Amino acid sequence: MARTWPFAAALSAPPFGIERQEPGADITTFGNSLWWAVSTAMTTGSRLEPITIEGRMIALVLMLLGISLISAIAGIFASEFVLRRREGQDLSDVLVKLEDLERRLPLTHEEQPQPEGATKLDLDDRP
């Protein structure tokens, strides 16, 4: 999004120069031109619109930039969700392996096999 602002600012100057001289033009100040450029690049639109061919060609470029920006952001979010889902599957595989190991290994002193001749006190007194 930060890269769109310089393009919008740069592309708002020509319509201002072109459109302000035309009778019936909506874009007659630089502020209007900047508002038009940003709202066009963000694909929200506004009541302002260019009436000249040159202004409309600039509008087309801004619309394509805005659509590209939104597509890029959507792609970044989608790839992040896919990556996190894959990582979650990898962790679930690790969890299954850990559970399998837990089933195989005794967890308490009582479950461990005792050496021949050892008593429970002998095992608890170990350092």
What pLDDT digit, counting tens, does each position of 108-127 carry? 555 566 666 656 555 455 55
Query: Looking at the 3D structure of the chain, how many domains does it have?
Result: 1
* CATH code where residue 82 lies: 1.10.287.70
Asked if the structure places residue 113 within a domain, the reply is no
Residue 61 has pLDDT above 70, yes or no: yes
The whole-number average pLDDT for the span 43-58 is 82
**What is the C-alpha separation between 13 and 33, in angstroms, rounded?**
7
Q: Is residue 34 part of a domain?
A: yes
**Contact 35/46 with Cβ under 8 angstroms?**
yes
Find the range with the poorest average confidence among 21-30, 50-59, 84-93. 84-93
Backbone angles phi, psi at 116, to 5 degrees: -60, 130
Domain extent, residue 44, equals 4-103
Does residue 116 sit within a domain?
Answer: no
| Distance separating alpha carbons of residues 76 and 23, to the nearest angstrom | 44
Least confident interval from 13-17, 103-107, 110-114: 110-114
Beta strands in the chain (DSSP E): none
Residue 89 lies in a domain: yes
pTM for the full model?
Answer: 0.54
Q: What is the pLDDT of residue 7?
A: 67
Asked if 85 contacts 60 with a C-beta cutoff of 8 angstroms, the reply is no
pLDDT at 118: 58
- Lookup: tokens for 63: 């619309």
Tell me, yes or no, whether 28 lies in a domain: yes
Candidate from 26-40, 47-61, 71-85, 94-108 with smallest mean pLDDT:
94-108
pLDDT band, very low/low/confident/very high, at 39 (cuts 50, 70, 90): confident
Domain assignment present for residue 73? The answer is yes
Cβ(25)–Cβ(33) below 8 Å? no
Residue 52 inside a domain? The answer is yes
Does the structure show a pLDDT above 80 at 76?
A: yes
Examine residue 26 and state whether it is found in any structural domain, yes or no.
yes
pLDDT of residue 27: 81
- How far, CA to CA in Å, does 20 sit from each of 9, 48, 49, 59, 101? 17, 12, 12, 15, 76
